[in-house]
Amino acid sequence: MPAAVLDTDALTRWLREFADAVAAEKQHLTQLDSAIGDADHGTNVDRGMTAVLAALEETPPTTVGEMFKLVGMTLVSKVGGASGPLLGTFFLRFGTTAGNHASIDAAVFAAALRAGLGGVVARGKAVAGDKTMYDALAPAVDALDDALARGDDLGAALGAAAEAANDGRDATTPMLARKGRASYLGERSIGHQDPGATSSALLIDAAARALG
């Protein structure tokens, strides 16, 4: 497998790609949240990612670990709601596993994503099928590991991860929500795509486009 080198510039491109996607999909995300939540998901993640890009510009990090600590702390401080702690913890754990290095390779990137997913589970206590961001992230992390294990390069592996995230997102539509605000609706949550899974799929898709 050709060694992919992901430095802070490349990883910033990933976050920028994600921020652009969230900005473009802001209304759609809020619309999905209106159906089963409280109509703020697009606005919140957009506000958080705008702050993240500003923070990275103001204090350009020299290591990957430092970078994602800043990203995570910014999201925790700016977003609120459930997305703030969940996305924030995701990036904080990602940064801890990535470590204080100028760049990371594909294997460390995959390990950092898995650690991030672990953070989401620790904070939100969601399991597969609860109709949450976990349902898009977990299949993506599995697909990335599988693809790297069979020798795919990072581009192909991230492509597989993005596909798995999108499938996972689509699969939330028929689910009965058991976590988050959508769970208050009971049966009425069925038939609506989960906004958190939707923004998480955008995150993985952005990685495939920026880092692949």
**Sites of contact with another protein (CB under 8 A):** 30, 34-40, 43-44, 47, 76-86, 123-124, 177-181, 183-186, 188
Structure tokens at 1: 């497998």
Nearer to another protein, 14 or 90 (CB): 90
Shortest separation between residue 76's beta carbon and another protein, angstroms: 6
Shortest separation between residue 153's beta carbon and another protein, angstroms: 37
Shortest separation between residue 108's beta carbon and another protein, angstroms: 26
Nearer to another protein, 6 or 36 (CB): 36
Structure tokens at 163: 């596909």
Shortest separation between residue 157's beta carbon and another protein, angstroms: 31
Nearer to another protein, 29 or 148 (CB): 29
Distant-in-sequence contacts of 29-35, Cβ < 8 A, 24+ apart: 29/195, 29/198, 29/199, 30/195, 32/192, 32/193, 32/194, 32/195, 32/198, 33/195, 35/192
Cα–Cα distance, 81 to 4 (Å, whole number): 35
Nearer to another protein, 27 or 59 (CB): 27
Cα–Cα distance, 206 to 15 (Å, whole number): 8
Terminal CA-CA length for the chain: 13
Nearer to another protein, 8 or 74 (CB): 74
Shortest separation between residue 89's beta carbon and another protein, angstroms: 9
Question: Is 179:193 a contact under the CB 8 Å cutoff?
Answer: no
Question: Is 152:119 a contact under the CB 8 Å cutoff?
Answer: no
What DSSP state is assigned to residue 7?
A: E
